[in-house]
A = this chain, B = another copy of it.
């Protein structure tokens, strides 16, 4: 970074810290921001600041929100007997996009991962148990990721909830829609076989 003005170098440096943004992309983005109208760059800077100032976690479900409780928890039309447990706020959006689910959520903010030092106490598990205490929830859907950490977390949560007598389900594993059997990995295929249903 010779002969590059210090503010530009600093912007490249900050952009480079973002996930998935390497040094080359950071450079490209910085020069784009330099060329872009001042209002657009300003809008981005303000959006970043504002999000940090105005967004907090819903004290019920721990989804990101401006108002506590969040829009989902506050919505009287949501089915309060269904609770979907997810790892991250992005997972809430993914499930909302299906327009199939009308229950509530609980965001764990992570998954068990001994390698990264994430144990049960780092997740919002105590709060999950507290929510189930009043018996309103009839079914807990474990919608953690279908990877190692997600499976471990689902197993752990399922065991934790067993004494409560609540119904615990897990998202189906199988071939992705549009997926080619030929290219499916062995594990996905065995899960698809295991989970086969009447036609």
Contact = CB atoms under 8 A, between A and B. Distances in A.
A42 interface: yes
Nearest to A88: B31
Interface in A1-35: 1-8, 10-11, 13-15, 17-21, 25, 27-34
A150 interface: no
Interface residues of A, number: 57
A46 interface: yes
Given A2-B96, A45-B49, A48-B41, A32 B19 contact: yes
Interface string A32-75: 11100010111111111111101100000001111000111000
A118 interface: no
Contact of A5 (B32, B41, B55): B55
A5 B2 CA distance: 41
A52 B41 contact: yes
B88 A50 contact: no
A33 B45 contact: no
B34 A90 contact: no
A142 interface: no
- Considering residues A20, A44, A88, which has the most beta carbons from chain B within 10 angstroms of its beta carbon? A44
12 contacts: A5-B55, A5-B70, A7-B47, A10-B50, A17-B44, A19-B29, A28-B90, A33-B51, A41-B48, A41-B49, A45-B48, A45-B49
